[in-house]
Chain A
């Protein structure tokens, strides 16, 4: 069984793209392939015109460093504090601790978590955890933000904060690729792909 089959799409620089579809339609797998988290069994994914499917593990990681991935399940390290979770990806990039801390404070303040810097993920609500995951994805100033259902199961307030932040990033030139049912995000997208049973069944260009 193929999770994604016969899919061909291009995500243009500076674009805001949404992928929609029912659960199990292949949205998450597609994002994982585009985010260099999974290797395609057939076909390839190109980033900046270079096919990454056959890239080494190290080369794929280098590409991932140019992306910020927001997981539906948050994917926070439970034993690290909020600010450590946000800045851990910056450590191998050689960014000094003071700068890491500055970025974490800036992002977490923007996301309304300035008072939760030293809290553990387990002490946060689902909405707060997702905001931490968003802060982590944005902390490295990525060229591309890939978000898998970033607002699902969140309270309206948290969902609005995250949607606004993604729109702001896009406005500053960051590519945003999002799988979501959230109308706030879909409405912001310049292109929307509809998926079903692993295939793209519809494509709509909307006014950005």
Chain B
């Protein structure tokens, strides 16, 4: 054991023997890992927020199915659902996408009774819309900034329905725990949203809260209560939604990871070059060690310790810098890859969470990078004949 420790210590000491090479290698590793760790942290942060949104949402989501897809549901279903056993509350909601501004900024309009506006939404300017007052909007801080809208701003008619056109007014600007909302969301009373989309008497979904453990029972009860030749209900539970929602995020993270794999491949070549600095010196050094009685596995253990420490240094530095990038610089430049609507410098707090898994993954990648450069060359030198390595 003491022998292994002593050999391992030479690996630690050899970091200081080749400071330039090791510094360049550690920096190369850091530069490669930094965007990867920051990206994973943002993806994780968004996923957690999405899960939290669902967790604090309703127990069941009722829509109509048409051609196998979600379709608006008649408000008449509300009256059929409310008396069912276990139901504590039913709220109609309209969620729709549209564009605003000269640059056709994508926005999501959510219309629901003002009393049911999400608790996570905090008006930092103005107020919430008043019930019965049409065309009053509350918008997220980031969206307000991008569209240059302020409290009291009037939006010229941007939609047309059976009743003509209306001027809308911004009555409040909100912040939310979910920054994505700040970037894209417009909250408005249910009736205004119905006007906006010209969908009177219908909702995109009905949010149903129920007593604990009533979800499954209610699912079939609601189906029986509102099914007809025209209405084929689709009922989604909170658990099902949790399983469905991260798909888009995972898709984005997948694309990001794919890009990273390409960068990683190039990175291996970069590290091979950087760790190749002083390669002949390393080779000769290993030759001398072998000539003086070091076994190949002992030489490799020494190189392994050196590589591991270099990897650890690289990933630690990358983690610290990723933390600074995300918390101090608020994901400058990278947030837009994961958050639709976020520009280079988002005005809201970009969600992120650096968990042990990406850190561990970063270490594995870092180790793979460094060992590609150092351990392989050490193995080649250690496997060569002693005098050949010493030349």
A57 nearest in chain B by CB position: B296
Digitize A51-69: 1 where CB-to-B-CB distance is under 8 Å, 0 elsewhere. Answer: 0000001100100110001
In the complex the two chains form, what is the Cα distance from A37 to B385 in whole Å?
A: 7
Q: Main secondary structure on chain B at its contact with chain A? A: helix
Size class of the B contact interface (CB-based, 8 Å): 20 to 34
Considering only CB atoms, which chain A residue lies closest to B14 in the complex?
Answer: A79
B236 at the interface (CB under 8 A from A): no
Is B295's CB within 8 Å of the partner chain A?
A: yes
A92 contacts which of B281, B285, B293, B385 (Cβ < 8 Å)? B293
Counting residue pairs across A and B whose Cβ atoms lie within 8 Å, the total is: 67
Stretch at the interface among B1-9, B84-92, B212-220, B244-252: B1-9
Q: Given A39-B385, A75-B390, A92–B294 Cβ distance below 8 Å?
A: yes
Across-interface contacts of A92 in B (CB, < 8 A)? 3, 6-7, 293-295, 298
* A171 close to B (CB within 8 Å): no
Interface size class of A (residues with CB under 8 A): 20 to 34
Asked whether, in the complex, the Cβ of A79 is within 8 Å of the Cβ of B18, the reply is yes
- State whether A38 touches B10 (Cβ < 8 A): no
A91 to B289, CA, bound (A): 10
CA–CA, A53 to B390, complex, Å? 20
Given contacts A58-B296, A94-B6, contact A37 B386 (CB under 8 A): yes
**Binary contact track B138-174/A, C-beta < 8 Å → 1, others 0:** 0000000000000000000000000000000000000
- With contacts A94-B2, A94-B3, A94-B6 taken as known, whether A37 is within 8 angstroms of B17 at the C-beta atoms is no
Residues on B lying within 8 angstroms of A by beta carbon are 2-3, 6-7, 10, 17-18, 281, 285, 287-298, 383, 385-387, 390
Q: A37-B291, A37-B387 are in contact. List 14 more A-B contacts (CB 8 A).
A: A32-B387, A58-B297, A61-B295, A64-B293, A69-B291, A75-B288, A75-B291, A79-B17, A79-B18, A88-B289, A92-B293, A92-B298, A93-B3, A93-B293
- Would you mind naming 27 contact pairs between A and B with Cβ atoms under 8 Å apart? A37-B387, A38-B386, A39-B385, A57-B295, A57-B296, A58-B297, A61-B290, A61-B294, A64-B291, A64-B293, A69-B291, A75-B390, A77-B289, A80-B17, A88-B292, A89-B294, A91-B7, A92-B6, A92-B7, A92-B293, A92-B295, A92-B298, A94-B2, A94-B6, A96-B2, A97-B6, A136-B292
